[in-house]
């Protein structure tokens, strides 16, 4: 007699492989909005989650926004750093990613622990509106693919909903400007340079630290910013 078959269980590895497949398919279809060839590494996630870990007041719960959560590569790492009472809004404009993320909140072992404190919003981050307030914002948006006006609108939005003293961490990829200088059309190179200058403007005013994460595809830089307690 044949041995009874074990029910098939989705492992963390199955789940990551499905996410990577979905990510690559969406990157091909919507590269401007997706802006990456693969989900972020855990090393990048840990560096981005720095201010979920390092708290000014360790007894006060945090309100967190992750913008551009994708398939949840960074969300899973943020979840590890969250403590009781913390809440997180996971905002993602791509309906395929947002749907997958909502599904993962109940089924993924790394995300199900925060299912009661997390909300997935399928929308543009700026459509979250003014009636929200965050202690920590983690931005995964591909600013290098946006126009300077789009980046300025988003940076202004982040700082309008970041509470005084709150932190914003954002990332981009190393050497993209240098590569574009060689292979991209001139207008695209100039567009990226202009959107980079907008980020630089904010970093010059509010930057509190920068990091490089080589263990990511492609290697990344991070900027950490802090909204002053008095503007
Ligand atoms: C570089 S991917 C990062 C995905 C994920 N956080 C990671 O690190 O693997 C950028 C994500 O931002 C989303 N996105 C782009 N523009 C957006 C916007 N204005 N509001 C919300 N999400 C956006 C894209 O659909 C994509 O999933």
Question: Which domains does the chain show, CATH number per domain?
Answer: 26-226 (3.40.50.150)
Closest C-alpha residue for ligand 1 atom 4: 70
Structure confidence at residue 9 (pLDDT): 45
Distance separating alpha carbons of residues 73 and 47, to the nearest angstrom? 13
For the Cβ of 86 lying below 6 angstroms from any atom of ligand 1, the answer is no
Ligand 1 pocket test, candidate residues 32, 48, 68, most atoms within 8 A of CB: 68
- How many angstroms separate the alpha carbon of residue 141 from the centre of ligand 1? 5
Low-confidence stretches of the chain (pLDDT beneath 70): 1-11, 181, 231
Separation of 93 CA from ligand 1 center, angstroms? Answer: 7
Whole-number Å distance between alpha carbons of 173 and 94: 21
In eight-state DSSP terms, residue 136 is E
The pick from 30, 33, 101 for probing ligand 1's pocket by mutation, whose C-beta has the most ligand atoms within 8 angstroms, reads 33
CA distance 197 to 152: 10
Rounded CA-CA distance 201/229 in Å is: 19
Q: Is the CB of 72 under 6 A from ligand 1?
A: no
Residue found by looking up tokens 């279809």 in the block: 29
CA distance 204 to 186: 26
Atom of ligand 1 nearest to the CA of 146: 16
Q: At what angle do helices 95-107 and 12-29 cross, to 10 degrees?
A: 170
Q: What is the pLDDT of residue 148?
A: 96
Closest residue by CA, ligand 1 atom 11: 68
Q: What's the distance, Cα to Cα, between the start and end of the chain in Å?
A: 75
Using CA atoms, how far apart are residues 177 and 218, in angstroms rounded to an integer?
13
Nearest C-alpha to atom 12 of ligand 1 is from which residue? Answer: 68
Residue nearest to atom 27 of ligand 1 (CA): 70
Q: What is the DSSP string of 68-133?
A: S-TTSHHHHHHHHH--TT-EEEEE-S-HHHHHHHHHHHHH-TTTGGGGGGEEEE-S-GGGG-SS--
């Amino acid at each position: 007699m044949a041995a009874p078959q074990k029910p098939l269980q989705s492992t963390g590895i199955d789940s990551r492989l499905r996410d990577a497949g979905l990510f690559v398919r969406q990157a091909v279809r919507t590269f401007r909005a997706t802006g990456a060839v693969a989900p972020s590494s855990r090393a990048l996630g840990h560096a981005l989650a720095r201010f979920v870990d390092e708290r000014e007041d360790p007894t006060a719960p945090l309100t967190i926004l992750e913008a551009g959560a994708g398939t949840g590569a960074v969300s899973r790492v943020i979840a590890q750093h969250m403590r009781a009472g913390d809440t997180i809004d996971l905002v993602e404009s791509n309906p395929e990613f947002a749907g997958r993320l909502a599904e993962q909140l109940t089924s993924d072992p790394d995300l199900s622990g925060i299912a009661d404190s997390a909300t997935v919003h399928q929308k543009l981050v700026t459509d979250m509106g003014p009636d929200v307030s965050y202690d920590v914002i983690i931005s995964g948006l591909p600013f290098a693919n946006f126009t300077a006006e789009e980046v300025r609108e988003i940076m202004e939005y982040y700082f309008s909903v970041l509470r005084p003293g709150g932190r914003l961490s954002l990332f981009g990829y190393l050497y993209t400007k240098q590569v574009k200088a060689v292979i991209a059309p001139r207008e695209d190179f100039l567009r990226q340079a202009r959107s980079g200058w907008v980020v630089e403007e904010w970093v010059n005013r509010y930057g509190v630290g920068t990091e490089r994460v080589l263990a990511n595809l492609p290697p990344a830089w991070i900027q950490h910013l802090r909204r002053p307690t008095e503007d």
